[in-house]
Structure 1
């Protein structure tokens, strides 16, 4: 018997929304459900004092793929925002990523040759042949000054573990530039949707049936009966009832403040490296869209351990968790009518452009086989 929908799409973040759009465009009937009270997953924006507040942390779209850039711009025009974060360390502000401005602020070096020599000198003193943890790996790559000022305390706050207890692969490489360029990303295309990411999600889900405040796991049998196939973008271990064990994540707590000033920090993102601050960074949202509002909204980000009552943000891709994920991935391959995709179902931290590209690839493959 023909079911009510071709696809039940669980999760209205970027993966689910792009897949739903492409399937609907191909003539398929989709139902999108989301357990949150809003669509858009972690790119959702909340309008506060006329400012689009990135509710789940800063999201800056960037890509080298013109096709992807054109794809998102068909739904909403993107502005020309360039991500140029600052870093507050031991009372001084520095430019990121590590570049000639950073090195001048740190050492007073003026030429690339001077900066390279300084790094090489410190690597020679503090580096080790086979780094066994994150601290040793960082010292191997950039030396002690950069590690102490920008990496050690920030990383330990973010992961809730000593740098000597974290695996070396977390920082296989560090972006070091010997130019005076504060653009964090190297990508050709970069920006923020004018009017916020909700405009992008609304465009993707236009004309598609969406139900929020609805948890798939509250009645799987009922939901499974609605559609021929399922597109699942939630936690992969939850889908399989945690039968192999629970995957670990790091989470974040966000503390928002409305301030009666038009400009709090002069930049969208400022990192707070020192352990004396419990939070890792402050976001001032209006600067993402060059806002001129009379007030401002700031968000402090506090890293914390994940538990089932808060949001899963960063997978902990150590050997133990990766082995557990591989077990779940093997189970997922045996699910004939379920398509898994996205950050949580693949236990990997993806950037937005990567999630969109993945959804386009999966939907194209799926719909071409129909």
Structure 2
């Protein structure tokens, strides 16, 4: 007889959400994770009175009432609004692209002036679809914005020329003809006041969790413990790389402390120049407005090639990887008593609220 209703492999956002839904329904589950901490890439830890986003910044945002109500069961959110800036050729520009950006770039003062400038620089595709990321960007925002704020940053992030990247990576670039620096438009936005780790502790309250466990190293024994398995790890790893590895981009983090209350004046500062190796510097205390620490913690974020020793971050969504993933997905659909969910198992770049929504839907379909 099985000891648990569900074995949940991974204590990140998908796994923790699924576990909470299981527990709320009075069922029994065991959560295991290869890492020595819960919360996956959302993990935060306190340093000098500052909540540090160890795996890069995570800003919660959504429009869904049910999802917002769900996360507020486990954390009190502040009112943080992401207003990143970008440094290019020694000048500072606001993101996303809005009237402040256009004013700094061209000196324009009205939406009409900005629109005329953008339109005059746009690439005319003459009715055809953009063939790559560069054409996609040029057809939407024109030459100046592309060269100063997109090209260098994108090349660093993916280590590929934008001409060699699929147009789908950026889809639609937001262009705001208003003086609005808020990166997200969502109705609900914020960051847990006590950090994400505390939020995950509350999500997993009353649920058995075991850390430092390599599920794939002893899969058969773990599978026997539960009626069903929820797998949130890398789908290609699960199937022992039968069709080869799915490609990711990774990140290197260099975190340090400065003996000053305020180092860069903003939570997120992007670096668009291609000769600067990092893509952004994060000043964590600004995620918590009003933080009184006399020092500040910063993280320099540099894109890197993925290897088995690194954390996979961004799926490389080109045709070769999409075709390879479709083969793995077909295997997954035929796998008995196993549900695959989350960024790695679905080989998909998800925002946090999208992961929660995916967990909701998958639980409803089988719970």
TM-score range, shorter chain: over 0.9
Tell me, in whole angstroms, the C-alpha distance in 2 between the residues paired with 1:172 and 1:340: 26
After superposing the two structures, state which structure 1 stretch, 277-286 or 65-74, moved more.
65-74
2:332 is equivalent to residue 332 of structure 1: yes
Match of 2:271 in 1: 272
Q: Residue 81 of structure 1: CA displacement?
A: 0.3
2:142 is equivalent to residue 128 of structure 1: no
Deviations 1:186-239 (A, max 9, x none): 101000001101121011100111011111012111111111110000001111
After the TM superposition, which residues 314-333 of structure 1 pair with which residues of structure 2 at under 5 Å, given as runs? 314-333=314-333
Deviations 1:115-161 (A, max 9, x none): 000000111xx443343221122111111000011000000000001
TM-score, scaled to structure 1? 0.97
Match of 1:144 in 2: 143
Tell me, in whole angstroms, the C-alpha distance in 2 between the residues paired with 1:133 and 1:366: 39
Match of 1:48 in 2: 47
Match of 1:343 in 2: 343
Deviations 1:271-310 (A, max 9, x none): 0111121100000001101212000000010101111111
Match of 2:287 in 1: 288
Tell me, in whole angstroms, the C-alpha distance in 2 between the residues paired with 1:147 and 1:30: 49
Q: Residue 52 of structure 1: CA displacement?
A: 0.7
Tell me, in whole angstroms, the C-alpha distance in 2 between the residues paired with 1:51 and 1:212: 25
Tell me, in whole angstroms, the C-alpha distance in 2 between the residues paired with 1:213 and 1:8: 15
Give every structure 1 segment of 4 or more consecutive aligned residues whose post-TM-superposition deviation is greater than 3 Å: 126-130
Match of 1:67 in 2: 66
Contact kept in structure 2, 1:279 and 1:303, CA below 8 Å: yes
Match of 2:298 in 1: 298
After the TM superposition, which residues 185-200 of structure 1 pair with which residues of structure 2 at under 5 Å, given as runs? 185-200=184-199
After superposing the two structures, state which structure 1 stretch, 317-326 or 129-138, moved more.
129-138
After the TM superposition, which residues 226-237 of structure 1 pair with which residues of structure 2 at under 5 Å, given as runs? 226-237=225-236
TM-score, scaled to structure 2? 0.98
2:172 is equivalent to residue 165 of structure 1: no
Tell me, in whole angstroms, the C-alpha distance in 2 between the residues paired with 1:110 and 1:8: 58
Deviations 1:90-122 (A, max 9, x none): 101111100001000000000000000000011
Deviations 1:237-265 (A, max 9, x none): 11111111110000001100111111111
Deviations 1:310-339 (A, max 9, x none): 111000111110011011111111112001
Match of 1:361 in 2: 361
SS at 2:294's partner residue? coil
Match of 1:21 in 2: 20
Q: Residue 362 of structure 1: CA displacement?
A: 1.4
Contact kept in structure 2, 1:127 and 1:136, CA below 8 Å: no
CA RMSD across the alignment:
0.9
Match of 1:310 in 2: 310
Contact kept in structure 2, 1:79 and 1:193, CA below 8 Å: yes
SS at 1:219's partner residue? helix
Contact kept in structure 1, 2:13 and 2:352, CA below 8 Å: yes
After the TM superposition, which residues 74-153 of structure 1 pair with which residues of structure 2 at under 5 Å, given as runs? 74-123=73-122, 126-129=123-126, 130=128, 131-153=130-152
Unaligned runs of 5+ in 1: none
Count of residues in correspondence between the two structures: 364
Tell me, in whole angstroms, the C-alpha distance in 2 between the residues paired with 1:188 and 1:242: 41
Contact kept in structure 2, 1:261 and 1:295, CA below 8 Å: yes
Contact kept in structure 2, 1:234 and 1:345, CA below 8 Å: yes
